[in-house]
Amino acid sequence: MAEQKLTGIYFCDTGNGHAKDIDINEIKTYLQTLREVVSVWEPKELDLTNFEETKKKLENLKIERMIIAGQTPGVFKAFFARALNANGKNGEEVVLASFKEHLVVNTQQAKTILTCAFYGVSFTLAAMPEETEVHPDTLVIGGGIAGIQASLEIADAGQKVYLLEKTGTIGGHMAMFDKTFPTLDCAACILTPKMVEVGQHANIEMLTYSEVKSVSGGPGNYKVKVLKKARRVNVNTCIGCGTCAEKCPGRASSEFDAGTTMRKAIYIPFAQAVPNKYLIDEDACLYVKKGKCSACVKVCPVPDCINLDEKDAEIEITVGNIIVSTGFKPFDAKRAEQFGYGRFPNVVTSLELERLINAGGPTSGEITFRSKDKFGNWVFTADSESPKSVAIVHCVGSRDEHYNKYCSTVCCMYSLKLAHLVKEKLPETEVHEYYIDMRAFGKGYEEFYNRIKDEGINVVRGSTVKVEEEDGKLLVKSQDIHGLKLLKQHVDMVVLAVGLEPREETKDLSQILGVSTTEDGWFKELSSVTDPVNTNVGGVAVAGVCHGPKDIPDTVAQASAAASRVIQSIIQGKIKKSVKDMRFEEVAAKAKQQS
Amino acid sequence: MTTRVDPGFMKKVKGLGDQNMEMCFNCSKCTAICPMDTNLLPRSLFRYALLGMTDKIKAEQESIYSCLLCKLCEESCPRGVKIADNVRLLRSYLNRDVFNI
């Protein structure tokens, strides 16, 4: 340990003062226990307007070094350097302990920062969490594009991955999309080969139709209890023939088709699902609900494949790292009543339009009006008429104090993409877009925006306030800001560009894992600039939209980054403990040791 | 025609009471829902005020007084701008500095 010099400490109160949870008196008492600290001053005890007096005080106490603590200590650095110089000491011995820089909000943190400053040790070095051994297996929670990408990266590096997915198939939201912006590549053509790879990879064990129940243990050695919900169909023996679904009388709205069509109670989520096996929706199955009907069991060609009485099971796995990639849910357009979603059948959400445009969707790629089927459900069918005019309304549920204040980042671009796709399918149809600000932020996005404007799409700056029904058409009310014109546009179909929201389960999962979330409910990274994948819990990384709205390229990039962190820890065989578990005494002892 | 701006205008208005015109991010939902069907109320009016275009504000007195203070715009404002209060403040500016009441 290096020799310490006689030290004076000054608390400045500039820069909005101290946080209310910082107890200056407690810190003072603590600092005075350090042998070389000769005096601790608060602003009221030291008159900085009187240089001579301060200089004399420092001289009398033989102070050789000054520590300035507070929100903006740098302001006083020159003053104390001058005073030390005038006393014949080294003017460079002024140390800053900035509360603002280290985001100090309570007494413990303030004490830590001051201790590090006292021992002349960088806080980041002293506060480095300890390392512990790591189990080589990894759990990825969420089987969307982020989870798939992260799993493949880790599995290709030769390590075992459990990929947990809540629904019956991996794929997530990306599987529902028709095209990706700005290149207009087919989303399924990119995603499905990756899904198949996951299904066949020797190092990946898929846990579909499962949920995380509890997590115990610590970084490097997590014991995870997984609830395997009853699928009621044997994944190993089901041949995916579909005879059961033909005979099944139970019906429910199709999740994969965003509610644009109906599916049976025994179903395969979509044609390219992985695993491509049937499962039973217990909310729609007549046997589960009423105890009657077992039509599927009777027609199934494989013996003992369907077991209607199967119960939920629980398994426990041990993993060293966890990647959270649980994704998002689209904003519920019914909450924005002014746009009439749910009241007017031809007000649709962007996800519904996406399914209509998709060749594998309910209308085989025809954009048509919503109609009632023989059971009275609102669905889309190919034999309905097509709209002659379409309006796309941006920022539904985003950038609005009534719903979500944040920008969902992807809506501008996917709206432009949808406008292009509508124009491609129905060249005679007018397309109007109403936006607040056009956020074409990524590589090639601005070029894409310019291309769309050249395609004859009417892109209007000015938000839509209301959608009404008039003479059998929909009336969209807005103002053209650039042309200073009030617009009342009659259209056949209105598309609401809904934003992204955290899933309800995010809250539970954040409690199970101990990962903090932001005010909006997204998972919080350790540092948005320097560490955007790790969290405050050691061995838990985030990837994809569950960390905040982002587009597919960014999601894939973050998933790869998260995977690289996991691979790094497995190769080293060590993992850092959680930052949040660090205690003041630990850091102080380390700082003393390192000085 | 050149437009004159008065950089001290907002200072004068702020002296008359609380306002939050700066919160506006120009989405024009307010103008689209306004029952007066003017292109001016209330978004453009606030732009003029924030820029200090006093001549424009004086020229648009009629519109400023035609506002019904019905708060339809406030209800649909995504930024929580207190539109009716802000219009009232512009009125009191006109009363004091233009009509000398």
SS (H, E, C) A471-524: CCEEEEEEEECCCCEEEEEEECEEEEEECEEECCHHHHHHHHHCCCECCCCCEC
Best of A411, A481, A482, A489 to substitute, by most chain B Cβ atoms within 10 angstroms, is A481
- Judging by beta carbons within 10 Å of its beta carbon (0-12, 13-18, 19+), is residue A317 exposed, middle or buried? middle
Domain extents in chain B: 30-98
Contact A479 B32 (CB under 8 A): yes
Cα–Cα nearest to A4, from A34, A39, A41 = A34
Q: Which residues from chain B sit within 8 angstroms of residue A402, using beta carbons?
A: 78
**CATH class given for the domain over A7-128+582-594:** alpha beta
Chain A residue with CA closest to B36: the answer is A486
Q: What is the bridge-based pairing of β-strands A485-491 and A493-498?
A: unpaired
Q: What single DSSP character describes residue B5?
A: -
The CA-atom distances, in angstroms, between A322 and each of A165, A167, A481, B43 are 14, 19, 48, 49
CA dist A155 and A134 (Å) reads 17
Query: Left (φ > 0), alpha (ψ -120 to 50) or beta: where does A349 sit?
Result: beta
Tokens of A502: 């955290």
Q: How far apart are CA B77 and CA A463, in angstroms?
A: 11
Give the model's confidence band at A19: pLDDT under 50 very low, under 70 low, under 90 confident, else very high. Answer: low
Topology at the third CATH level for domain A138-229+312-327+503-577 = FAD/NAD(P)-binding domain (3.50.50)
Are A476 and A489 a contacting pair, CB within 8 Å? yes
**3-class secondary-structure state, position A125:** helix
Cα-based distances in Å from A281 to A140, A242, A245, A255, A504: 24, 15, 12, 11, 20
Section A518-541 average pLDDT: 90
Q: Which residue of B has its CA nearest to A398?
A: B78
pLDDT for the residue A414 = 96
Across chain A, what does the average pLDDT equal?
A: 91
- Measured CA to CA, the distance from residue A183 to residue A195 in angstroms comes to 21
Which residues of B are less than 8 Å from A477 in CB distance?
A: 32-33
Per-residue burial over A249-277, b = 16 or more CB atoms within 10 Å of its CB, e = otherwise? ebbbebebbbbbbbbbbbbbbbebbbbbb
Output the pLDDT for position A492: 96
Q: What digits encode the pLDDT tens for the residues A151-205?
A: 999 999 999 999 999 999 999 999 999 999 999 999 999 999 999 999 999 999 9
In whole angstroms, give the CA distance from residue A261 to residue A155.
36
Report DSSP letters for A249-280, one per residue. Answer: --EEE-TTTTTSSEEESEE-SSTT-SS---EE
The shortest CB-CB distance from B78 to any of A401, A466, A487 is to: A401
Is the CB of B32 less than 8 angstroms away from the CB of A487? yes
Is pLDDT at A564 greater than 60 in this prediction? yes
Average pLDDT for A90-115: 82
Q: What is the pLDDT of residue A589?
A: 81
Residues whose CB is less than 8 angstroms from the CB of residue A406 and which lie 6 or more positions away in sequence, other chains included: A398, A399, A520, A548, A549
Question: Taking an 8 Å Cβ-Cβ cutoff, which residues of chain B contact chain A?
Answer: 25-33, 37, 39, 43-44, 76-80
Contact A471, A491 (CB under 8 A): no
Element containing residue A38 per DSSP (H, E): strand A37-41
Q: Which residues of A touch B30 (CB under 8 A)?
A: 465
- Beta bridge partners, A233, equal A306
Same fold, A7-128+582-594 and A330-501: no
Domain A330-501 sits in CATH 3.50.50.60:
yes
pLDDT per residue as tens digits for the range A282-294: 999 999 999 889 9
Query: Does the pLDDT at position B1 exceed 70?
Result: no
Contact yes or no for A572/A565 (Cβ under 8 A): no
CB atoms under 10 Å from CB of A297, counted, come to 16
| Contact flag A401-B37 (C-beta cutoff 8 Å) | no
Q: Chain A contacts of B39, Cβ < 8 Å?
A: 479, 484-486
C-alpha to C-alpha distance for A540 and A558, rounded to whole angstroms: 14
| pLDDT tens figures, A547-561 | 999 999 999 999 999
pLDDT at A579 (0 to 100): 67
Please report which confidence band the pLDDT of residue A100 belongs to, taking 50, 70 and 90 as the band edges: confident
> Count of alpha carbons within 13 Å of A344, Cβ hemisphere only?
27
Q: Pick from A414, A491, A500, A407: which is nearest to A449 by CA? A: A414
Question: Does the beta-carbon distance from B32 to A485 stay under 8 Å?
Answer: no
B63-84 average pLDDT score:
92
Residues in chain B with CB shorter than 8 Å from the CB of A400 are 78
When CB atoms are compared, the residue of B32, B43, B78 closest to A400 is B78
Of chain A, the end-to-end C-alpha distance in Å amounts to: 6
pLDDT in tens, A448-462: 999 999 999 999 999
Domain ranges of chain A: 7-128+582-594, 138-229+312-327+503-577, 330-501
Q: Report how many Cβ contacts below 8 Å link chain A to chain B.
A: 54
Does A420 have pLDDT greater than 90? yes
Cβ neighbourhood burial of A218 (10 Å; 0-12, 13-18, 19+):
middle
Instruction: Answer whether B29 sits within 8 Å of A486, measured CB to CB.
Output: no
How far, in Å, CA of B65 to CA of B81, rounded?
19
The per-residue pLDDT for range A24-54, each reduced to its tens digit, is 888 888 888 887 888 888 888 888 888 888 8
> Do the Cβ atoms of A365 and A347 come closer than 8 Å?
no
CB contact (8 A) between residue B33 and residue A477: yes
